[in-house]
């Protein structure tokens, strides 16, 4: 794993940020922290310890602040905290570094393409001061790929020296194409990614902003499902939550609620029909406890829909609606078993992603924004601001996009805790 960070050159400008403590450029964050045996630790050391570069303000910076125009784009789906990140970037650039020109490019990467005619917005401390109160993004967003040549043309036209790309996997892939085009032209425009996804599935990033708010809000829907399930004979509450590839939101919402009986996620296969499969297990609970609450992540159970090659504007495979499918399957199964059930289905997806950040996420967004500014001013590029072992890091975009982060059921204490909380079997596959 090559974690080397690209720099435009030596930093010779004394930072005007005025911090009492600066992060040395040689400061490292060790990749692995837990070793089951002394032998494994010794083997790890002898093979060469892997590490990430620590994020933070540098004593000397690369860009002279008076020459810097910064740009910000927000791409992909909405997520709690985007406005907090925008605010944090503008405030840090202006008050700490003295950068007076910050442009917000509307509608994601479309804002970097001339033909769409989206005029950039001047962002100042005054007009971003209170945007954290609102959900969404003041710059709006879009999905879909744009030509890197067109985007870099636009950046050069406005004299942008640092571009902050706030978004998820697709956004970071777009940022990588921008980096390649900049390098091809021999220009020096720093590209810094701030990872945004409520699914929390960015590779080698411990936590993404919006995740805490998302599962906290999702828990409200889960509690409503619990009330509904207990309010009718043989009540079953089904809640579909976001999570295309990973079940982090579903699992955390289930743990926070403590009233969830089954949690179905993309990382753990399950069957519906047959001995030992999910519906038979659900039937046993209904006959004994008279109610049940089920969370299903949107990417779970996609095998039931067959092979699908259709993709959305971001290049993601379109998913079958597992929530509706599961609800209908439950109703059909119990009807065939001649057992009356009352199924209530809740899908709060757009509600949990469009609300303002909670206090925990708002603070986290501020940290990400400040560290993004520090990295850009120091002439670093082609990176994502991440967190690893509770320390903020610089992560090469290549590593962030090489694969999705998913929950590891056989190794994860999170999944083990979930099984203990819900009481569901570790496996719900039909017996041969």
pLDDT digits (tens, 9 = 90+) for 177-211: 999 999 999 999 999 999 998 888 899 999 999 99
Q: Report whether 56 belongs to an annotated binding site.
A: no
Q: Could you tell me if residue 430 is inside a domain?
A: no
Q: Could you tell me if residue 295 is inside a domain?
A: yes
Total structural domains within the chain: 2
Annotated catalytic residue 321: no
Asked whether residue 151 falls in the same domain as residue 11, the answer is yes
Q: Could you tell me if residue 431 is inside a domain?
A: no
Asked whether residue 64 falls in the same domain as residue 91, the answer is yes
Asked whether residue 200 falls in the same domain as residue 218, the answer is no
| CA–CA dist 102, 105 (Å, integer) | 10
Sign of CA dihedral 227, 258, 216, 78: negative
Query: Active site residue: 64, 150, 199, 321, which one?
Result: 199
Asked whether residue 58 falls in the same domain as residue 179, the answer is yes
Q: Report whether 276 belongs to an annotated binding site.
A: no
Task: Give the residue among 103, 220, 235 at the shortest CA–CA distance from 158.
Answer: 103
pLDDT tens across 55-78, in order? 999 999 999 999 999 999 999 999
CATH classification at residue 370: 3.40.50.450
Asked whether residue 334 falls in the same domain as residue 267, the answer is yes
Range of the domain at 244: 212-354+410-422
pLDDT tens across 342-393, in order? 999 999 988 899 999 999 999 999 999 999 999 999 999 999 999 999 999 9
Three-state DSSP class for residue 54: strand
- Give the pLDDT score at 74: 97
Q: Report whether 274 belongs to an annotated binding site.
A: no
Q: Report whether 353 belongs to an annotated binding site.
A: yes
Q: Could you tell me if residue 429 is inside a domain?
A: no
Instruction: Give buried/exposed letters for 270-290 (b at 16+ CB in 10 A, else e).
Output: bbbeeeebbbbbbbebbeeee
- Please state, for a pLDDT cut of 70, what percent of the chain lies above it: 99
Asked whether residue 78 falls in the same domain as residue 224, the answer is no
Span 203-230, mean pLDDT? Answer: 93
Q: Could you tell me if residue 405 is inside a domain?
A: no
pLDDT tens across 11-56, in order? 999 999 999 999 999 999 988 888 889 998 888 888 877 899 999 9
Asked whether residue 56 falls in the same domain as residue 155, the answer is yes
Asked whether residue 91 falls in the same domain as residue 184, the answer is yes
Asked whether residue 46 falls in the same domain as residue 180, the answer is yes
**Of 103 and 412, which is predicted with more confidence?**
103
Q: Report whether 23 belongs to an annotated binding site.
A: no
- Please state, for a pLDDT cut of 90, what percent of the chain lies above it: 83
Task: Give the residue among 223, 237, 221 at the shortest CA–CA distance from 343.
Answer: 237
Q: Could you tell me if residue 219 is inside a domain?
A: yes
Q: Could you tell me if residue 297 is inside a domain?
A: yes
Locus of tokens 């409200």 = 220
Q: Report whether 351 belongs to an annotated binding site.
A: yes
Q: Could you tell me if residue 1 is inside a domain?
A: no
Span 251-273, mean pLDDT? Answer: 95
Task: Give the residue among 165, 64, 36, 49 at the shortest CA–CA distance from 112.
Answer: 165
pTM of the model: 0.93
Asked whether residue 126 falls in the same domain as residue 230, the answer is no
CB 251 within 8 A of CB 407: yes
Indicate the pairing of strand 51-54 with strand 101-104: unpaired
Asked whether residue 218 falls in the same domain as residue 193, the answer is no
Asked whether residue 332 falls in the same domain as residue 367, the answer is no
Q: Report whether 298 belongs to an annotated binding site.
A: yes
* Average pLDDT across the chain, whole number: 94
CATH classification at residue 268: 3.40.50.460
């Amino acid at each position: 794993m090559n974690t080397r960070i690209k720099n435009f050159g030596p930093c010779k400008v004394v930072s005007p940020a005025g911090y009492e403590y600066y992060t040395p450029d040689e400061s490292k964050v060790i990749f692995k922290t837990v070793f089951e045996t002394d032998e494994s630790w010794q083997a790890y050391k002898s093979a060469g310890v892997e590490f990430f570069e620590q994020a933070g303000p540098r004593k000397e910076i690369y860009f002279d602040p008076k020459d810097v125009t910064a740009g910000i784009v927000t791409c992909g789906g909405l997520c709690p905290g985007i406005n907090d990140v925008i605010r944090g970037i503008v405030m840090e650039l202006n008050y700490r570094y003295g950068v007076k020109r910050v442009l917000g490019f509307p509608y994601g990467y479309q804002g970097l393409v001339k033909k769409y005619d989206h005029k950039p917005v001047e962002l100042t401390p005054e007009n971003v001061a209170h945007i954290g109160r609102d959900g969404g993004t003041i710059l709006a967003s879009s999905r879909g790929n744009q030509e890197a040549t067109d985007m870099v043309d636009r950046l050069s036209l406005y004299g942008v020296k640092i571009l902050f790309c706030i978004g998820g996997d697709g956004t970071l892939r777009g940022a990588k194409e921008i980096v390649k085009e900049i390098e091809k032209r021999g220009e020096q425009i720093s590209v810094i990614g701030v990872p945004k996804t409520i699914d929390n599935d960015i590779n080698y990033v411990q936590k993404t902003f919006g995740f805490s708010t998302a599962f906290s809000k999702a828990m409200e829907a889960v509690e409503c499902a619990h009330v509904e399930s207990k309010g009718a004979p043989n009540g079953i509450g089904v809640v579909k939550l976001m999570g295309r590839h990973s079940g982090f939101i579903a699992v955390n919402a289930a743990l926070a609620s403590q009233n969830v009986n089954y949690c179905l996620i993309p990382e753990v296969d399950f069957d519906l029909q047959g001995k030992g499969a999910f519906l038979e297990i659900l039937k046993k609970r209904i006959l004994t406890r008279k109610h049940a609450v089920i969370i299903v992540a949107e990417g779970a159970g996609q095998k039931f829909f067959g092979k699908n090659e259709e993709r959305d504007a971001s290049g993601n495979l379109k998913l079958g609606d597992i929530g509706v499918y599961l609800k209908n399957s439950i109703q059909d199964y119990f009807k065939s078993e001649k057992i009356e059930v009352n199924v209530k289905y809740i899908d709060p997806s757009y509600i949990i992603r469009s609300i303002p950040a909670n206090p925990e996420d708002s603070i986290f967004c501020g940290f990400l924004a400040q560290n993004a500014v520090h990295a850009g001013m120091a002439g670093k590029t082609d990176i994502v601001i991440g967190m690893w072992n509770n320390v903020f890091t610089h992560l090469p975009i290549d590593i962030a996009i090489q694969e999705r982060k998913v929950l590891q059921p056989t190794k994860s204490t999170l999944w083990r805790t979930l099984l203990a909380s819900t009481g569901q079997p570790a496996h719900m596959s039909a017996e041969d």
